[in-house]
Chains A and B, each alone.
Chain A
Amino acid sequence: MVSIRVITPAAIAAAGLAAGAAASQEPLSVAGIHASPVENAWNSRLHEALEEAAAEGVIAYQFSEGVSGTDYPRAMREYAEQGVDLIIGESYAVEREAREVAADYPDTAFVMGSSGEPAGENFGVFGTWNHGGAYLAGMLAGAMTETDTVGSVGAVPIPEVNLLINAFAAGVAETNPDARHLVSFIGTFFDPPQAREAGLAQIDSGADILFGERIGTADAAEQRGALAIGSLIDYTDRYPETVFANAMWYFRPTLDAAIADVQAGEPVGRSYTEYSLMPAGGSDILFDADAAPAEAVEAMEARRQEIIDGAFEVPVNMDEPG
């Protein structure tokens, strides 16, 4: 199940015409290799940033989606053989193989979502650290819960999922130290009906605000008239009246840093996780100010500014919640 599409901005043609233009003006050729369909929340963040950069003429973007683990190294090799400058993707399921491919193509830059470390000069990694937004959403949830019970539905307790749920819990604890925090895992990444059932189970246990690390959680809140918080993308339009805040993740800062490194000839074999954090604009909270009490919003906004200024650091805890 592999499909390939090419997005060629008009800028390529323009660059071709202006042959005398400086080399740095030419769009960088970038390939995205997505293990899931690009509608998957996480992949949609990468895809959106890459398409945006392509539309601006900064890069020429082509991508493959739904690439299974067994196909993944082959897709990497194919793009590297084509002479693509930068490959963006995710090596969670193929950490070792992806590093082997990168070692075979030293002239190609690889920047991958990964739970591991960078390797060599040309294999960089980035984490999905939108825990700043999750912490701030937790602050609102703690102030707003009427049952003093909130819940989180996650996929599988991997470090980056734990990080988010723990940051949400820490935010709740800041504004409501007595609140109960229920945590459920559904054991899979793609089962929205099951995430909905997990959300309903938490509402049955008394939760009135759900943090949906997985899509489907907010459907439970919608059905029972509870509230929900989204992760990675903005779910407000999909669940009006239900989702009042989102822990957003923006990939563009990471992408821009990687592009700058490649264009400057710098090695990309480093961690780009810092560009996912709030000070770099990689994470933030999007919320409906009318849905939350004014003093809660005020406290949250103050904290938000402290995080952006570097005066407050959101705790990084990757242990399994509980």
Chain B
Amino acid sequence: MDALWILASTGLWDAVLRIATPLIFGTLGALLCERAGVLNLGIEGIMTFGAMIGWLTVFSGGGLWTGLLVAALCGALFGLLHAGLTVPLGLSQHVTGLGITLFASALSYYIFRLVVPLEASPPTIAAFRPIEIPLVAEIPFLGEVLASQTAPTYLALALVAVMGWVLFRTPLGLAIRMTGENPHAAEAQGVNPLILRTACVMAGSALMGVGGAFLTMSAFNSFFPTMVQGRGWICIALVVFASWRPGWALFGAVLFAAFDAYQLRLQSALENAVPYQLFLMAPYLAAIGALALMARKARVPQALMRPYRRGER
């Protein structure tokens, strides 16, 4: 019975939003890249770099929002590198992306070691504090769930709406989706697919950087070189789960986070009646199961992973 009561506890849903936030940023970022036709497997490394550089900015005296901005800019730079190799040069998006992940992870560690003094446990910053919104705080249940959330979580939620609106309600969104479906047709309409793809990969990578920064600037207050722990790969899977739609990306991230937060509580509630490994597996099993169900209906952007070359049919 305890196991069911947990589902109605504010503590669970409070944790769900916090666990989901980096996934929402990362999934929206990967989704934007893929909508324009570019798979970005650099996500894991870009999130690591964002986590490092955002934290380092604050550690060096910058403000928290400056840190997020720097993480976004650095993410965009890695996006430019990825786009430069895969869009005009048309190199393999898989190989380039994995290369960027290795490069960005190693570079994060290197810069961290150069700049930050060695200590027994890594130095801390003053991370984002929960913000109180006057009227919302009084809503029962929801108010309590939102009470301990930080500003980047609200930013992530707002971005879902913004990206949905841009992709499906604006000429720019139409051009992006067209570039991902049929870049030749897009070019015939006067859209430059090379520029648009590059811009989307940069903007998407910027979001990945912010997602990583959330880990060191809100979820925790120190940087560890390996702390992204596969969250980037989960985002790549969530994009497929979401069928490349921002609203579903939010749902997928929340669903995954809910399983994760729930299993952490079940470990305590069931007092180890079940091996803990089963709980740890639960979010991933749920993701695979959901993917199998959703992917049947998924409409993959038709030009995803196909380099665009002018005049080529």
- Name A18-48 residues within 8 Å CB distance of B: 36-41, 44-45, 47-48
B226's nearest neighbour on chain A, judged by CB, is: A190
B312 CB–A CB distance under 8 Å: no
Complex Cα–Cα for A41 and B11 (A): 29
Contacts of A219 in B (CB 8 A): 220-221
Contact B264 A41, beta carbon cutoff 8 Å: no
Q: Does A177 contact B (CB under 8 A)?
A: no
Minimum C-beta distance from B136 to chain A (A): 20
Q: Does A115 contact B (CB under 8 A)?
A: no
Chain B CB within 8 A of A265 CB:
no
The reply on A235 being an interface residue by CB < 8 A is: yes
Instruction: Tell yes or no: A157 within 8 A of B by CB.
Output: yes
- At the interface, yes or no: A296 with Cβ under 8 Å from chain B? no
B167 sits at the interface (CB 8 A): no
Closest to A183 in B: B272
Q: Are A193 and B276 in contact (CB under 8 A)?
A: no
Label chain B's interface by main secondary structure: helix
Contacts of A147 in B (CB 8 A): none
Query: B276 contacts A238, CB within 8 Å?
Result: no
Q: Which of A117-125, A201-209, A266-274 contacts B (4 or more CB under 8 A)?
A: A201-209
Q: Which of A174-196 contact B (CB under 8 A)?
A: 180, 182-188, 190-194, 196
Q: What per-residue 1/0 map shows which CB atoms of A41-78 lie under 8 Å from chain B?
A: 10011011000000000000000001000000000000
B267 in contact with A197 (CB, 8 Å): no
Cβ of B264 and Cβ of A184 under 8 Å apart? Answer: yes
Whether B229 sits at the interface, judged by CB under 8 Å, is yes
- Chain B interface size range: 35 or more
Closest B residue by C-beta to A184: B267
Taking a contact as CB atoms closer than 8 A, the residue among A36, A48, A187 that contacts B277 in the complex is A187
**Category for how many chain A residues contact B:** 35 or more
Whether A193 and B268, one on each chain, are in contact in the complex, defined by CB atoms closer than 8 angstroms, is no
Question: Given A38-B118, A41-B120, A157-B276, A197–B261 Cβ distance below 8 Å?
Answer: yes
Q: Which of B275-301 contact A (CB under 8 A)?
A: 276-277, 280
Choose among A3, A187, A235, A321 the residue that contacts B121 (Cβ–Cβ < 8 A).
A235
Q: Closest Cβ of chain B: how far from A316's Cβ, in Å?
A: 20
B81 at the interface (CB under 8 A from A): no
Is there a chain B Cβ closer than 8 Å to A259's Cβ? Answer: no
- Most chain A CB within 10 A, of B12, B105, B120, B224, is at B120
3 closest residue pairs by CB, A with B = A322-B272, A193-B219, A204-B11
Q: List 12 A-B contacts (CB under 8 A).
A: A1-B110, A37-B109, A37-B113, A39-B119, A183-B267, A187-B277, A193-B220, A194-B229, A200-B11, A204-B9, A205-B269, A219-B221
Chain A contacts to B: CB under 8 angstroms: 1, 3, 36-41, 44-45, 47-48, 66, 151, 157, 180, 182-188, 190-194, 196-198, 200-202, 204-205, 207, 215-216, 219, 223, 233-235, 238, 321-322
A-B contact sample (17 more), CB < 8 A, given A41-B121, A157-B276, A238-B121: A1-B105, A3-B110, A3-B113, A37-B113, A37-B225, A44-B120, A66-B225, A184-B264, A185-B276, A190-B224, A190-B227, A196-B219, A201-B268, A205-B265, A216-B220, A233-B121, A235-B121
